[in-house]
Amino acid sequence: MDYKDQLAPELKKSARRVPFNRKIVQVGNIYQAAALKLTRIPRDISVKTIETEGYKGLKFKTDIFTPDDADSPAPALIYVHGGAFCYKAAVYHKKLACIYASKAKCKVFFADYHLALRHPYPAALEDIRALYKYLADHAEELGVDPDRIGLAGDSAGATIAALVCNGYEKDKLVKPCLQMLVYPLTDADMETQSMKKYTDTPFWDSTYMPLMWDIYLGNQNKGAFEDEAGCVLKDDFKKAALPMYSVLPASIPDTYIETAEFDCLHDEGVLYGKRLEKAGAKVELNDTKGTFHGYDMALDTQIVTDSVKKDFHF
């Protein structure tokens, strides 16, 4: 089905289909790593890089973007980029991180976390959880207000951000002040109406989902798997790996969810918001129209500008 005529006019020039397979991810990551290094940051933003330990003690780097007019100590946002758990951050992710820093006057922590082609679940989740703990434990050193640390992510990055937020009580971490989830992946069952309907939409569609989950979850999503505790059943695994099945904390961080209209992930984002609301969370849903998965790469369009400028009403 051709959705181009139904897209927001200013997004049509950006709407194209992009293939997804292991080889394309490998080649794409070479390009994206180079492009990211060449992407300049705005003059009113400073950047420094820290290195921390995450999954199995493996080190990873995090860029910290700080606006010149940030408070001291400043609020902080861990921004987890999307990319099907496989791709490195794109240029627009870096630009968005700088925009968030500038507009919210906060320090944005932009992690180069371990990716699924070499490090499947739970590597990325453990990296971001470790980074969140590091921020809280070293808040004074980093110039961060420990009571104002939030998490954000788009697509697969939103999955990771949501899981850290859902597990903060269990992991004995400070409560995040908010979570911002942009077209989040929340469920691997692939049974929603949008998942069945959007099989040929721009940039991402439901035909890519089985391969993505196989890469990220590997054999673990097909039954039981062994770890230090022994055999973990599939249902327990889903609770650990998928936000839709997580055991929610008693106090859920205020939540902003953004969905795209022509996106196979649309319905699970809406349903996840309803799940959080039912559990007592304050949830704001920005259900954008005429949009597709990844539409916010079109940073010069009004529809993206409006979404980025949108105020939370918590």
pLDDT at 226: 43
pLDDT at 224: 39
Q: Give the residue ranges of DSSP H helices in 39-155.
A: 91-104, 123-137, 139-142
Query: Taking each helix axis from N to C terminus, what angle separates 22-38 and 91-104, rounded to the nearest 10 degrees?
Result: 50
In a domain, 13, yes or no: yes
**pLDDT (mean) for 81-98:** 97
Separation between Cα atoms, residue 235 and residue 6, nearest integer Å? 39
Task: Check residue 280 and give left, alpha or beta (phi > 0: left; psi -120 to 50: alpha).
Answer: left
CATH of the domain at 154: 3.40.50.1820
In a domain, 157, yes or no: yes
Bond into 73 cis (ω within 30): yes
Q: How many CB atoms lie within 10 A of CB 90?
A: 20
Which residue range is the domain that position 172 belongs to? Answer: 4-308
In a domain, 62, yes or no: yes
DSSP for 262-274 reads E-TTHHHHHHHHH
pTM: 0.94
In a domain, 314, yes or no: no
Does pLDDT of 46 surpass 90? yes
pLDDT over 70 for what percent of the chain?
A: 93
In a domain, 313, yes or no: no
What does pLDDT average to over the chain? 92
Which is more confidently placed, 306 or 168?
A: 168
Into how many domains does the chain fold? 1
**pLDDT (mean) for 51-77:** 97
Kindly report, residue by residue over 204-243, the tens digit of the pLDDT.
Answer: 999 999 999 999 987 654 443 444 444 444 778 889 999 9
In a domain, 301, yes or no: yes
Residue 118's pLDDT band, with cuts at 50, 70 and 90, is very high
**Helix, strand, or coil (residue 249):** coil
Q: How far is CA 115 from CA 29, 88, 160, in A?
A: 10, 8, 12
For residue 114, how many C-alpha atoms fall within 13 Å in the half-sphere facing its CB? Answer: 24
In a domain, 257, yes or no: yes
Separation between Cα atoms, residue 160 and residue 33, nearest integer Å? 21
pLDDT over 90 for what percent of the chain?
A: 86
* DSSP bridge partners of 153: 80, 181
Separation between Cα atoms, residue 55 and residue 145, nearest integer Å? 25
Does pLDDT of 310 surpass 80? no
